[in-house]
Chains A and B, each alone.
Chain A
């Protein structure tokens, strides 16, 4: 019935027909041929990995749509990295994490940022109190002056949103 992704044959036809065009389009936008090549490559990788069969009626529209999404993701990842470096800049030297730890944490934070995207503010607040700050559901209910049932409803919604974003 519903196939997992566009077949590799379709993709290679798409690649042959439009890769050069996409690279040129990105290079114009980014003003950098190397980054454009990376992004063009990532666009096709993303297309191969898509869970749902993409609509291939307008291949160039589809490719630019994916590429724009990737550009935004990339910008957002830089933002996360920047915010993290800013956060650790306050730490005294001996406490500051090693480069290895940094990379692991930045990677996790990027994923968390992506998972939280689109989560309603209230859900996000409750979800972070539990997942980051380690508060129990009871403590959260007390702090926010709400019921345990409400906290659990938001937690479930939060978990589902995160899993769907993975």
Chain B
């Protein structure tokens, strides 16, 4: 007698509900139609449930903007798509102008030689002995030819520890990004592709930056700089702790909470945000990047903060409402 099953509409009822939806969709909503519809819906609980479902269907579609919805649905894996992308990927390597197109199509990252998913890190040794660590959501193409050893950073961040080329005729080592190229000299350095610019930090040796526009500058160990195609930004100092991400750790020293949360968010699927009210709070500590849940727990335990979980994939870091008993 619980009623739930009694109200379960059968296929015939769903078809009737569909017919009503279609009538309304065609613009037929005269008073007579409305009245007939109300009578239909009031016939039984199952009729009402059928209509609820019909409305849920149209409501779901209404929430999606037409063009975005189209692109998303068309973008879902279907036979033939991969091949088409591949053809484009090859074409895009053609020249500097094409890099722009490349950057705007992050899905090319899935075609990359080496890639990590969000929250994943990967360490690889290349054919020449160079060690490469890929940070979260990163992608790199590897092109070793008889003339050069080239890495192209598509997105994310890598830490490179170069090795001496074992071949009889040593080939130069080059890392390219959307904004230019880097020539390391016996070294350990990291490169991060940000939106519109690249950031390089040198931990050992030196790295020569050549921005796509032609400006050139050499960075020595302990320094970092950002560059765009049009030029190289100011050089600042960097310490070894900045490379700790490659060991799955983020070392914060007096870091604004907003920045820390933005960093942690890179390692998580879904949304992780910081309430602006606490974004300026300074925090210090070692935070595990490979377990961001633990990092968030650590924050909440040590600072006056609380996690607000809106959905499983959406967390806000907010001030803790100590002593508040108000509901909602």
Contact A113 B60 (CB under 8 A): no
B106 is contacted by which of A3, A89, A102, A111 (Cβ under 8 Å)? A89
Whether A83 pairs with B63 at a CB distance below 8 angstroms is no
Closest to A85 in B: B106
**What is the size, in residues, of chain B's interface with A at 8 Å between Cβ atoms?**
45
Q: Bound complex: CA of A89 vs CA of B106, how far in Å?
A: 7
> Do the beta carbons of B5 and A3 come within 8 Å of each other?
yes
A103 touches B313 (CB 8 A): yes
Residue A112 contacts which of B60, B77, B269 (CB distance < 8 angstroms)?
B60
A61 interface residue (CB < 8 Å to B): no
Near B by CB (< 8 A), chain A positions 80-102 give 80-81, 83-90, 99, 102
A103-B311, A133-B66, A166-B56 known; A87 vs B18 contact (CB < 8 Å) = no
B302 contacts partner chain A, Cβ-Cβ < 8 Å: no
Asked if A16 is at the interface (CB within 8 A of a chain B CB), the reply is no
Q: Which of these, A51, A89, A134, contacts B8 with CB under 8 Å?
A: A51
CB distance from B322 to the nearest CB of A (A): 27
Of all chain A residues, the one with the shortest Cβ separation from B64 is A108
Partner pick for A164 among B14, B68, B76, CB 8 A cutoff: B14
Picked from B11, B69, B104, the residue with its CB within 8 Å of the CB of A89 is B104
Rounded to whole angstroms, the CA-CA distance of A83 and B295 in the bound complex is: 29
> Does B26 count as interface, using CB distance less than 8 angstroms?
yes
Residues of B within 8 A of A90 (CB): 71, 104-105
B32 within 8 A of A: no
Any chain B CB within 8 A of the CB of A30?
A: no
A51 to B25, CA, bound (A): 30
Q: Is B4 an interface residue (CB 8 A)?
A: yes
Residues in A whose Cβ lies below 8 Å from that of B8: 4, 51
Contact yes or no, B15 A156, CB < 8 A: yes
Residues of B within 8 A of A2 (CB): 5
Q: A104 to B68, alpha carbons, bound, how many Å? A: 13
Instruction: Report the minimum CB–CB distance from A47 to chain B (whole Å).
Output: 15
**With A2-B5, A156-B18, A163-B14 known to touch, is A105 a contact of B56 (CB < 8 Å)?**
no
Give the complex CA separation of A3 and B72 in angstroms: 39
Q: Does A115 contact B (CB under 8 A)?
A: yes
7 CB-based A-B contacts, threshold 8 Å: A85-B106, A88-B68, A90-B71, A132-B66, A133-B66, A137-B22, A162-B57
Q: A2-B5, A83-B72, A166-B53 are in contact. List 17 more A-B contacts (CB 8 A).
A: A51-B8, A86-B107, A89-B106, A99-B273, A103-B271, A103-B314, A104-B63, A112-B64, A132-B61, A132-B69, A136-B26, A155-B25, A159-B54, A160-B14, A160-B18, A163-B57, A164-B14
B→A interface (CB under 8 Å): 2, 4-5, 8, 11, 14-15, 17-19, 21-22, 25-26, 50, 53-54, 56-58, 60-61, 63-66, 68-73, 75-77, 104-107, 269, 271, 273, 311, 313-314
